[in-house]
Structure 1
C-alpha cells in the first residue's frame, strides 16, 4: 500500500473555493488533483459548515479641423504598419511571396489588405492571383498545421515555443521543429520570455548556516532525493503576498507551497510540512535553500532535524546555486501572474494555486523531462 497523502489547510481551501465558485465540480477537482472523490466532497461539506475555521491543524466633442484629422490618420497608419511588421517579423527573413500571401490572407480581417501589401512589399494583384489559384496540398497541410499550432499555443496561455508545440502535435500532424518554427515566425506566434526576479530573503544575520552540499549538482536518480526551497513575492492592491515553495529536483515537481502576507519562519515551515505530508519523504533527503534568516531560523532547522533531513545552503549572493527554483519563479510570474492585476491577496492565491496544481505539475511539459509534465516523471504523486 502506498504512502497516504496529506493535504494542509491552504490546499483544501483553494480546492473548495474553486468548487464553490462553480469553476469546477467535486468530481473534476478530484480527478485533476488525484484526490479521492469522497475526500474532496467532505472538504466541501466541512467548509460549508465551518467556514474559515475549517480544517484546524492543517459629452459633446469639438469637431476636429482638417490638420488634426490628417495627423490622426498618419498616426493610425504608422500604428497599423508597426503592428503588421511586429506580427510579420518572420516573413522578412523568409522572403517568400507564398508565405507572405498566406500571412496576408490569415490577417485580412485584422489589417487592410492594401496596407499589408505595401508594408510587406508585395503586389495586390499578386495576392489576389494567389488566393484564386488552386491551393496546393502543402499549403492545405500548412494551414491545418497552423490551426493546430495556434490551438496548442493558446491552450498553454502562450507559454509554449516551437520545441514544446512540436512535441505536443497529434500523431496525424507530426512535423519537424523547423517547419513548426517557420510557421510560428511567419504568423507572429512566440512564447513568453521568462525574466529573472531578485531574491526576497535576508541573509544578513548571525545565525548558523549550512554548507553548500548540492553545489549546483541538480541531477537526481529518484524522487525525494534533493529538494530546493525559496520565497518569492506577488504584488496585490492589499500589499505583498509572499509565497514559499519546495521543488523536487526529480521531475521538477513543486511538492510544497505556502502563502501569507508576512515573510516569517512559519511560512517556510508550512511549505516544508506540506511537501512532507504529500510525499512521505524520509531521512537522508537533502533540502537546499539560500541563507535567508527564515531558513537559518531555529524553528526551520528543528523541523529538518526532526525528519532527519540534510540541510544545504547556497553561497552568499549566488543565485545559480538555486537556479531551478529561480527558474520556476520566473515561469510562474511570466507565464501566469503577469497577466493579472490582483485586487486582493485571495485573488492572487487562487491564481497561484491554479498554476501550480492544475497547470504546471500536471499539464506543463518540461524540457528537462523530455517534455513530460513533472507529475508524470518517476513515481506520480
Structure 2
C-alpha cells in the first residue's frame, strides 16, 4: 500500500470524479462500476495507467504504486469470485480482504499457547529470583524470549504458533528465526570457545600467589606476570560469566536494596556546618563507631552530642550493630533529666541506614525534634562528632577489657570524666557541663 497522502485540494479534486465513492487523505474507495470497467478494459489489453487517465483520474495525484496495487487486488478478487468479488455492498468486500474470523479451535490453541508461555516465564523467574533479585522488573533481552519460545514450541509441539508467541512476547518473528539459524548458532559456539580460552589465564591470575583479586588487580597481574594486555571490560565480563567473584570488599546488596526502598529516606542538610549556635540542646549530633577490645572482640558505641557545648547527652553500647543501637540512644536521651530541648531543636547525622530507617525517623518526630543529614560521603558535615570519637579512642584503653560489661563500665567512667572534668580550650577553658550552664545564664 502506498504511503502517499492526499492534500485537502487533492481530496476535493478526486471527490469530483464520478467513479470515486469516497476519498480521504489516506485512501480512495472506487465505485463498483469503475472496478468492472477496469477489469473489462484490462482484459482487452489496456494498461492500468491508461484506464485511470481515460476515466478522468490524475495519475500524478494518485501515484502509480496505488494504481498497480488496486489493479492487482481487483484482478485477484475477480478470478476468485467473479463479478461478486468486485462488489462493495453490505456483507461483500472487493478491496483488501477482511481479517478472517478465527475458529473456536484456533482461539483455544492460541490461548493454550499463551498460557504455556506465561508458565515458562514464571518457572524461569523462580529459578533466578534468589540470584538476581528484582530481575522480573527489568526488561529482558530478546534472546531470553527466543529461548523460552523455542522451549515451548518443542515441548508442546506448537510449531505453527511461533508467529503468535513472538507477538505476545514482544519480539520479532524474523529475529527468532535468525537467532536459531545455522550461522548464528555457529557464531555463538565460536564465542563460547573463545570465552573458555579467556577464562583460563583470568582464573590463573585470580588465584596467583593464592590471593584472590578483583578485576583491576587481575588486569595488572596479567600484564605484569603473564604479559597479557586485555581490556578491563572484557575481564569483568568473563568474571561475571564464569562466577569468578572476589570476596574482598564486595558491595553490600542489602544496603543498596534498603536505600532503594521506601523504608529508608534521606532528609536535607539543615545544619550546613553551623555547629556553634550558642544555644544548648538545639543542635544534636549523632553517629556510631566501632570499638575493639580483648582479643579481637568488637563493640559498637552510639552517642548524641550537643554541638554547642560538646556535652555527651546520651550514649548506648552494644555488641551488635542493629537498629536498636540508634533507637536506644534516643531512649537514653529522653531519660536524661538535664536535657531540655531548645526551640527548633534537631538531630544531625550521616546517611547511614540506622538514621534513614522509618523507625528512627518516627522516634525523632515523636520526641519533637527535627532531622538533618550530611551529604553523602562527606564526613566534614558532622566533624565535631567525628572529632569526639577520635579523642575518645586516644584516651580510652579497652585492651584490658575482656567482656562487654567491662567495656561499658570503662565507657561510663570516661563519659562522666568528659562531661564534668575534661576542660576544653575552645569552651573558654570550661568543661562541657560548665559551658552549658554558662550559656544558659547568658541567655
Q: TM-score range by the shorter chain?
A: 0.3 to 0.5
Give TM-score, length-normalised by structure 2.
0.38
The structure with the larger Rg is 2
TM-score normalised by structure 1 residue count: 0.44
